[in-house]
Amino acid sequence: MSDDLFAGLDKCAANFVPLSPVSFLQQTAHTHADRTAIVYHDLRLSYAQMHDRVARVTSALAARGIGAGDVVSIMAPNVPAMLEAHYAVPAAGAVLNPINIRLDAATVAYILGHCRAKLILVDPDFLDVVEQARAAMDAPPDVVVVADPAAGAGVPEGAVTYDDLLREGDPETSLMLPADEWSPIAINYTSGTTGDPKGVVYSHRGAYLNATANALTFGMDAWTNYLWILPMFHCSGWSHTWAVTLAGGTHICLRQVAAAAIFDLIVDERVTHCCAAPVVMNTLIHADPSVIRRPTARVKIATGGAPPSSTVIAGMEDLGFSVTHLYGLTETYGPATINAPDPESDAPLDERARQMARQGIGHPLLTDYRIASPETGAPGARDGDALGEIQLRSNTVMMGYLQDPDETARAFAGGWFHSGDLAVHHPDGMLEIKDRLKDVIISGGENISSVEIEEILTRHDAVMEAAVVAAPSEKWGETPCAFVALKAGAKVSGDDLVDHCRAHMAGFKVPARVVVVDELPKSATGKIQKYELRQRAAEMVDAKP
């Protein structure tokens, strides 16, 4: 091949635009200017209006000294400003840091200090926590309050508000795309399920690609009405903050996750798509029957963040939803694999639900994934039996952990991202998670999957939720110990549930004890805090005569 053959084919403004989800808003405001972008109570904004507001906020932030590489945090529920910030902040060249609204002041202070936030947008209901956090900091960020009549708290006198930014800003400001698509767009902190939260840095390029994969796999288009149940502060709403705009769909904002409001919006706003963690789906299934309203057409609901049991999946299908199962991490911009329902399947519901409880196959933009030994990197067989760590390699894996080269190097060791999740790879290509590496139970030298025991326990009529952890055992090293919360009004003893397990699983997997509790301890993202249960299990073993 001649060296000159392809000479002169250079990148120029006409053929190369850095990949950035900010361009989704530019495009959609152009192509679907009049379509409804945002719905929140009585507020209805078209894409042209959303673009106008985002441009104003972008210019107002710039006028307040926010520029390239600065971090702007936000602590707010799923209100319009939370969505707009996902465009306005990066369009000013800055980096958005969404903060979980359930965190305490000490953790918020840690996050704000760690990412050196210059400004924080905050909902009135979280102002107290933010003020406590700021009081503990040497260089606290400036505060802008996002006023909302639906908030419990008001806006303090003299506070700068988001409405001030909208008033001050210039709607003619152009939204800036980064010069280099490998520039940070967001910092999302992990849930801290297994330790201190880590600051996961997203690039414009990765966010663009994962949002594109989401829109594609979840079948979104300009007729999509997406209900914001999943918090936008969690992995930037699993990248749906950007995906729905790419599709030209409508973002229906929801301030508080409550079953009645969810069912009302689903029916009244003709919701077509939403995402929710398994724990939220459980709340919907067990909602007071007086608030349940069945959708007129099947609503697509994507779930993930924790393993959904087949019982929960079947329960949602019964309510008129079609469940898609996603698996991913903060480090993968949310979803990395997908198990979508097979429209041609005529298998009975419980069988389909069991298939859907598996974590699925890589989404179309996940370049490569495998299960492998976490120690040696030797790939595991695709036989549905060999257990290995899920490892991923993709443009949709984070840039790295903020200010943490050691953790970043560990996570990327050997050229793969190490998820810390243990799974089997089935011959049909599906991954099925058996445990997190840190949660696996090793009894008499055998690995026991806590997820498998939880699945069996939640198939019992009386059980609402189950969590299985390792308890120390003199004889076996570890034995499974289960904690369960029961459905309202249900009655069953721990011993009965041990019998139920014995009837449905191999003897060595049967939990030594099943403890019935009022509620399982959950983290700020609704994940069951297994380390706390492990401690309780160990204490019970110590206390046993």
Residue 197 within binding range of ligand ATP, rule CB under 6 A = yes
Q: Which lies closer to ligand ATP via its Cβ, residue 304 or residue 480?
A: 304
Q: Least distance from C-beta 110 to ligand ATP, angstroms?
A: 13
Within 10 angstroms of residue 349's Cβ, the number of other Cβ atoms is: 13
Residue 324 within binding range of ligand ATP, rule CB under 6 A = no
Residue 210 within binding range of ligand ATP, rule CB under 6 A = no
d(CA 94, CA 111): 17
- In the shown chain, the binding pattern of residues 143 to 182 toward ligand ATP, with x for contact by CB under 6 A and - for none, equals ----------------------------------------
Radius of gyration, CA atoms only, the chain: 24
Which residue among 29, 215, 266, 306 contacts ligand ATP (CB under 6 A)?
306
d(CA 306, CA 327): 8
Residue 329 within binding range of ligand ATP, rule CB under 6 A = yes
Is residue 457 helix, strand or coil? helix
Residue 192 within binding range of ligand ATP, rule CB under 6 A = yes
Q: What is the DSSP letter of 404?
A: -
Nearest 5°: CA angle at 163, between 173 and 35?
Answer: 65
Sorted by sequence, the CB contacts under 8 Å of residue 351 that are 6+ apart come out as none
Q: Which lies closer to ligand ATP via its Cβ, residue 126 or residue 189?
A: 189
Residue 203 within binding range of ligand ATP, rule CB under 6 A = no
Q: Which lies closer to ligand ATP via its Cβ, residue 304 or residue 315?
A: 304
Nearest 5°: CA angle at 292, between 291 and 297?
Answer: 140
d(CA 393, CA 416): 5
Within 10 angstroms of residue 437's Cβ, the number of other Cβ atoms is: 14
Q: Least distance from C-beta 195 to ligand ATP, angstroms?
A: 6
- In the shown chain, the binding pattern of residues 248 to 287 toward ligand ATP, with x for contact by CB under 6 A and - for none, equals ----------------------------------------
Residue 124 within binding range of ligand ATP, rule CB under 6 A = no
Which residue among 421, 452, 465, 478 contacts ligand ATP (CB under 6 A)?
421
Footprint (CB under 6 A) of ligand ATP, residues 425-484:
433, 436
Q: Which lies closer to ligand ATP via its Cβ, residue 265 or residue 329?
A: 329
Q: Are 386 and 371 in contact (CB under 8 A)?
A: yes
Q: Are 487 and 286 in contact (CB under 8 A)?
A: yes
Which residue among 236, 245, 310, 525 contacts ligand ATP (CB under 6 A)?
525
Q: Least distance from C-beta 387 to ligand ATP, angstroms?
A: 14
d(CA 421, CA 449): 12
Residue 237 within binding range of ligand ATP, rule CB under 6 A = no
Measured torsion, CA atoms of residues 184, 188, 190, 195, in degrees rounded to the nearest 10: 80
What backbone torsions phi and psi does residue 22 show, to the nearest 5 degrees? Answer: -60, -30
Determine the interface stretch with ligand ATP among 58-66, 163-171, 320-328, 398-406 (rule: CB under 6 A): 320-328
Q: Which lies closer to ligand ATP via its Cβ, residue 18 or residue 192?
A: 192
Footprint (CB under 6 A) of ligand ATP, residues 355-394:
359
**240, containing H or E segment:** helix 240-247
Q: Are 173 and 56 in contact (CB under 8 A)?
A: yes
Count of residues near ligand ATP by CB under 6 A:
26
Count of alpha carbons within 13 Å of 396, Cβ hemisphere only? Answer: 30
Q: Which lies closer to ligand ATP via its Cβ, residue 408 or residue 525?
A: 525
Count of alpha carbons within 13 Å of 260, Cβ hemisphere only? Answer: 3
Q: Which residues bind ligand ATP (CB under 6 A)?
A: 190-195, 197-198, 304-307, 325-330, 359, 419-421, 433, 436, 525, 527
